[in-house]
Amino acid sequence: MSSRRRSGTGELPSDAEVHVNGAESLLRTLVTSNVDVCFANPGTSEMHFVTALDRAPGMRAVLGLFEGVVTGMADGYGRMSGRPAATLLHLGPGLANGLANLHNARRAATPIVNVVGDHATTHAQYDAPLASDIAGFARPVSSWIHASTSATTVAADTARAVQAARHAPGGVATLILPADVAWAEASAPAPALPVTAPARVDDSVVDGVIEALRVSRGQSTAILMRGSALLDRGLEAAGRIAAATGVRLVCDTFAPRLQRGAGRVAVERLPYFAEQIVETMSSVEHLILVGTKPPVSFFAYPDKPSWCTAPGTRITYLSHAHEDGVGALEAVAAAFTAQPARIDLSLPDEPDGRLDQFSIGRIVARHLPDGAIVSDEAATNGLGPSLALATARPHDHLSLTGGSIGQGLPLAGGAAVACPDRKVVCLHGDGGAMYTVQSLWTQARENLDVTTVIFSNRAYAILRVEMARTGAQALMAEGDRQALDMFYLSRPDLDWVRIAGGMGVEAVRVTTVEEFSRAFASAMVQRGPRLIEAVI
Ligand SMILES: Cc1ncc(C[n+]2csc(CCOP(=O)(O)OP(=O)(O)O)c2C)c(N)n1
């Protein structure tokens, strides 16, 4: 049905007579601003938004059964498409449920238009049960917050929200939509606002880096990168610089998106633990940063460093996150003439022996199709796949940017919505996967082409390691049970085949290399969601 009310004559009214409510005006403005996917979990205050979904041509709505799924999908979508999705969340509690993955999205600098419904402005005075400080919840994860107070301005507010989300390097723009603003008669949709390009890096900074590279001694200089520098154009420029000068190319441990594999320029990934980063950085005399910050330890530990570069290391920012790091790398590369070294395709042989992260990594690398997307929350089982995938077919690697577990599954779903022609492989710890397990249901409903590998070690394995590293383990006495019970996911064991099956995703449990290989190879040549529980 059209949004146009029929005039008395039975004729469609002219454009000047088009009546829309605030919600429809908002949605139409989103579509006009090239935001055409909305990940949603609505409630009563969002009912006019829900009915407007069918009135705003071009908007695809995707339901998530928990807000952490909604926000994680919006993150995956934004990382892969480079443009924001909208969310729809139910007042403060809905937003609060989605905060952890908005935190991860903020760390990834993902553009998201985060729409949060609220009580009608006339209702706010009564402090009804669902009333809360929505802006207060939103503040730490948002780069922009606005509460629309009138249906006549909601279109303009929406266009501003999209512009804010896309403002370099990208961020969460939270738009609070009171129910009466959604239902009142509104003005026509607003046109898209221009997106500001990332700030250009000053020539003097580029010249300084060129000069430093000319006199540098190869490997004692490293370029540490994040953001769009880790996509093709940036990597290409960095590869030319490395080929000409011998500098090391390094990326953050948890980069939002890294293009890896055959044909690409190789980048070392910083390790996770502080002492490993210190070791990696020990020979670096000059660290050049592109869109990132100096590396620090993920956590503090007694007697271990937080700052991971060597004391005398000179640090230069070629670009900050909001600046055009790719342009700056290209400007530096233009001063040198060299062709980048590229990774040769080298697929592992079929492994035998134990089913573990290394054999699984080799099988994944062997069968991963060209152009796949890997959503990696494999936690303590991530090293094997990461090593094996270095020379696999070209792919995109997405990582857990903010340390808040439960991101990998929805991230994979959002990536699959953004890139329907590409295979998505999600590598996930069983503990983290339980946080946003409802993601599987959305995969089934939307028939998303995601293969999930659950590393079923039935433990929070990393926490055992961290317990020893923090020194807390020394406080345990013989026979202490409660502390250990915090780390083991047994009594009962999680049954992933039934969990996935109950949400409509075909699943299989494997315990051997042969079984895993068969299941993974078969999933790679079929479409649609699959889950493999690898008991390790
Ligand atoms: C939101 C959130 N809650 C809790 C933690 C603490 N935490 C870090 S890793 C982890 C367990 C991860 O388990 P799993 O995904 O099974 O991977 P494994 O360590 O077994 O490899 C937990 C609970 C966290 N990082 N984020």
Give me the DSSP letters along 249-264: EEE-TT-S-EEESTTS
Helices and strands of the chain, counted as H and E runs: 20, 20
**Range scoring the smallest mean pLDDT among 23-27, 265-269, 302-306:** 302-306
Cross-strand bridge partners of residue 39: 62, 87
Over 90: is that where the pLDDT of 6 sits?
Answer: no
Provide the pLDDT for residue 16: 44
Q: How far is the CA of 461 from the centre of ligand 1 (A)?
A: 8
Provide the pLDDT for residue 14: 47
Give the integer Cα–Cα distance in Å for 373 and 258: 10
Does residue 169 have a cis bond before it (omega within 30 degrees)? yes
Mean pLDDT score, 86-105: 98
Mean pLDDT score, 453-482: 94
Q: Which atom of ligand 1 is nearest to the CA of 404?
A: 26
Q: How far is the CA of 96 from the centre of ligand 1 (A)?
A: 20
Count Cβ atoms below 10 Å from residue 297 Cβ, excluding itself. Answer: 18
Supply the Cα-derived Rg of the chain in whole angstroms.
25
Evaluate: CB of 231 within 6 angstroms of ligand 1: no
Percent of the chain surpassing pLDDT 90:
94
- Max distance between CA atoms of the chain, in angstroms, equals 87
**Residue 444, Cα to own-chain centre: how many angstroms?**
20
Over 80: is that where the pLDDT of 13 sits?
Answer: no
Evaluate: CB of 463 within 6 angstroms of ligand 1: yes
pLDDT tens per residue across span 385-411:
999 999 999 999 999 999 999 999 999
Using DSSP's 3-state secondary structure scheme, residue 112 falls into: strand
Mean pLDDT score, 118-129: 97
Provide the pLDDT for residue 19: 81
Q: How far is the CA of 219 from the centre of ligand 1 (A)?
A: 35
Q: How far is the CA of 428 from the centre of ligand 1 (A)?
A: 11
Q: For a pocket test of ligand 1, which of 357, 405, 457, 496 has the largest count of ligand atoms closer than 8 A to its C-beta?
A: 405
Mean pLDDT score, 81-98: 98
Using DSSP's 3-state secondary structure scheme, residue 221 falls into: strand
Provide the pLDDT for residue 64: 98
Cross-strand bridge partners of residue 428: 377, 454
Over 50: is that where the pLDDT of 7 sits?
Answer: no
Over 90: is that where the pLDDT of 2 sits?
Answer: no
Provide the pLDDT for residue 395: 98
Mean residue pLDDT of the chain comes to 95
For the beta sheet containing 395-399, the strands, ordered from the edge strand earlier in sequence to the opposite edge, are: 258-260, 395-399, 372-377, 424-429, 450-456, 530-535, 506-510
Mean pLDDT score, 200-215: 97
pLDDT band at 231 (very low <50, low <70, confident <90, very high): very high
DSSP state of 254: T
**Range scoring the smallest mean pLDDT among 317-321, 442-446, 464-468:** 464-468
Provide the pLDDT for residue 18: 61
Strands 185-186 and 20-21: antiparallel
pLDDT band at 76 (very low <50, low <70, confident <90, very high): very high
Give the integer Cα–Cα distance in Å for 32 and 36: 9
pLDDT band at 24 (very low <50, low <70, confident <90, very high): very high
Evaluate: CB of 431 within 6 angstroms of ligand 1: yes
Over 80: is that where the pLDDT of 17 sits?
Answer: no
Over 70: is that where the pLDDT of 75 sits?
Answer: yes
Give the integer Cα–Cα distance in Å for 324 and 320: 8
Mean pLDDT score, 427-453: 98
Evaluate: CB of 432 within 6 angstroms of ligand 1: yes
Q: Which atom of ligand 1 is nearest to the CA of 381?
A: 21
Over 90: is that where the pLDDT of 286 sits?
Answer: yes
